[in-house]
A and B are shown apart, each in its own frame.
Chain A
Amino acid sequence: MNDSEQAPIISEEGEVGFVEYQDFVSKEPFKFVSGGKLPELTLRYETYGHLNATKDNAILICHALSGDHHCAGVHGIEERKQGWWNFMVGPGKPIDTTRYFVICSNVLGGCQGSTGPGSINPQTGKAYKLDFPKLTVQDMVKAQSLLIEDFGIDRLHAVIGGSMGGMQTLQWAIDFPERLGRYIALASGARHTAQAIAFNDTGRQAIIADPAWKQGDYDPEHGPDQGLAVARMMAHITYLSDVGMESKFGRKRRSGDESKEHFDVEFEVESYLRYQGASFVSRFDANTYLYLTKALDRFDLHSPESLDATLSAVTSPGLVIGFTSDWLYPPHGNREVVEALLRLGKDATYAELAMDFGHDSFLVRAPKLYELIHRFLTR
């Protein structure tokens, strides 16, 4: 590498600071791919940076299964939890808010403010619950496109997302090719493997088997917490890697633990996962979990005809990033997308990062990932 290529790209970094969410409400009926309908639709979102006069500097970030619209900054003095991609989004960061207007919305079907199974159906005055229509990634993207239209943005500078967000990103490139300048899909793929479906269904069964689920008709205050926590614990394992867990926890025991019960928390890793399960329950809705995981399992760019046929609609340049230790959405599933795009003569790049953090590698601050995203956005 010569000197110019090694020089640091980012010298000064800042923070987006305090942020507030907004609600976009569409009073038009929303039609799902499945044929189901919502009488109206709300998407909760946050924005960072400023939309320029020509409205061509917007970047849409799509979040993963357990993520939400809060991807950067903090909500207030009391609520200091940084957004889930704070290291990536901000002044001087790869998704640079001094250049770009960044939008992140909670997905359709979500439970953080956007219309989902827990939302009230204005026609009945009751929550949709399992009357919420069958959901697909295409529906999520279509809903986001309404928000983008509402901003008066004809063409996004870029759409970016990891995991479920990566699938939405690919769907954007397929469904709205003329409305994005480029896209970056991280740790995603064209469809779930049998293993990914198997894990998702085991999680769903934990929820459904919890008596508190009540066929989805639970009181939000007394939902199937046990089932949802187990689903989350198991899913969380699939987001990590063997090597990553070993180096983080090994066989470390909780300090001063004198287990009185046979099955009390004994190892650090147990404590960590139980905490993950418990904290997830406090912010996530079980029915949303069922709907979103099903949407992911159904996502299949090989269908209805072939991967090449589906991707033939894509016109914008794309970057697909795989992670060596990701066994949930493994590198070959990411590569396959780029191989098809290249067969079709599209402008597509596949890059693979050797990181030990499993599927969640895309959520880990790493200089190489930083540089890659920065370069692709500014090229």
Chain B
Amino acid sequence: MSPIDKKRLADFQVIAQWVEPGERVLDLGCGRGVLLEYLKQKKSIYGVGVDIDFDKILSCVKRSVPAYQGDARTILATFPDGAFDRVIFSRTVEQLDDAGTILAEGLRVGKQVTVGFVNKGFWVNRLCTLFKGRRVINEVYPKPWYETQPTNSFSVNEFEEYCNARKLVIENRAFLAGDWRSECSVFPNLLAGYAIYDLSSID
């Protein structure tokens, strides 16, 4: 398993703790369906993955994970309110146009929304910008700017501001240190490499 795959597993373990057995889960930006396969094994969920890429859907088929090739916005619009217990955005929000609207749609379709993201405020990222004047290249961001898609990254504080402004209830939060394994308990905006939130609407 590559270091980045190990990192991804950390995310899974936190989410798996929050998922109740038998939940209906929609994973937007599901990739190869590994998270849903994991949740299916651990929590007997009914999970549906959504991804825009054919090869990812192919991998979901191999894992017996139901999957929908298409756009998150399109599929969300086809579901009635509360169709899922949980809508997961695991490293997906950064890739979305007009992320706030899609998160709101996620909260309509899901009773809860789980968001996992790489913390832009993490000190290593800051130092890199401060001292080298360039963005960080590491296993999380392996490619230079000219080989990647536009990414709308944000920090823990920025995300919490969004939640407050929209009056979203933060049911759970978890922060992982730079290795994405050990827990990070203080100054998450500075010290957390990865953040995971469980949200719900007030009504």
Residues on A close to B: CB < 8 A?
Answer: 1-2, 5, 317, 319, 335, 338-339, 342-343, 345-354, 368, 371-372, 375-376, 379
Contacts and interface: CB of A to CB of B under 8 A. Distances in A.
Contacts of A319: 61
Nearest to A6: B55
Nearest to B1: A2
Given A350-B57, A351-B58, A351-B61, 18 more contacts: A5-B59, A319-B61, A339-B75, A343-B78, A343-B80, A343-B83, A345-B24, A347-B66, A348-B66, A349-B60, A349-B66, A350-B67, A350-B68, A351-B67, A353-B54, A354-B54, A368-B54, A379-B63
Given A335-B70, A349-B68, A342 B58 contact: no
Contact of A379 (B62, B69, B83): B62
A1 B55 CA distance: 8
A175 B18 CA distance: 39
Contacts of A368: 54, 58
A367 B79 CA distance: 33
Contacts of B83: 343
A75 B69 CA distance: 39
B17 interface: no
Contacts of A347: 66
A345 B61 contact: no
B12 interface: no
Contacts of B79: 342-343
Contacts of A353: 54
B1 to A, nearest CB: 9
Given A349-B60, A349-B61, A338 B68 contact: yes
Contacts of B54: 351-354, 368
B46 interface: yes
B197 to A, nearest CB: 25
Contacts of B63: 379
B192 interface: no
A350 B61 contact: no
B61 A342 contact: no
A338 to B, nearest CB: 6
Contacts of B80: 343
A351 B50 CA distance: 10
Nearest to B68: A350
A10 to B, nearest CB: 14
B48 interface: yes
B61 to A, nearest CB: 5
24 contacts: A5-B59, A317-B64, A319-B61, A335-B68, A335-B70, A339-B68, A339-B75, A342-B48, A343-B78, A343-B80, A345-B24, A345-B46, A347-B66, A349-B57, A349-B60, A349-B67, A349-B68, A350-B57, A350-B68, A352-B69, A353-B54, A375-B58, A379-B62, A379-B63
A333 to B, nearest CB: 13
A346 B57 CA distance: 17
Interface in B66-93: 66-70, 74-75, 78-80, 83
A347 B75 CA distance: 15
A353 B58 CA distance: 11
Contact of B61 (A335, A352, A372): A372
Contacts of B48: 342
B78 A5 contact: no
Contacts of B120: none
Nearest to A346: B66
Contacts of A342: 48, 66, 68, 75, 78-79
B32 interface: yes
A347 B66 CA distance: 6
Contacts of B78: 339, 342-343
A251 B32 CA distance: 43
Contacts of B67: 349-351
A272 B63 CA distance: 43
A330 to B, nearest CB: 13
A371 B83 CA distance: 32
A350 B70 contact: yes
A187 to B, nearest CB: 15
A376 B61 CA distance: 6
A345 B23 CA distance: 11
A375 B61 contact: yes
Contacts of B69: 350-352
A351 B13 CA distance: 29
Scoring B24, B64, B79 by chain A CB atoms within 10 A of each residue's CB, the highest score goes to B64
Contacts of A346: 66
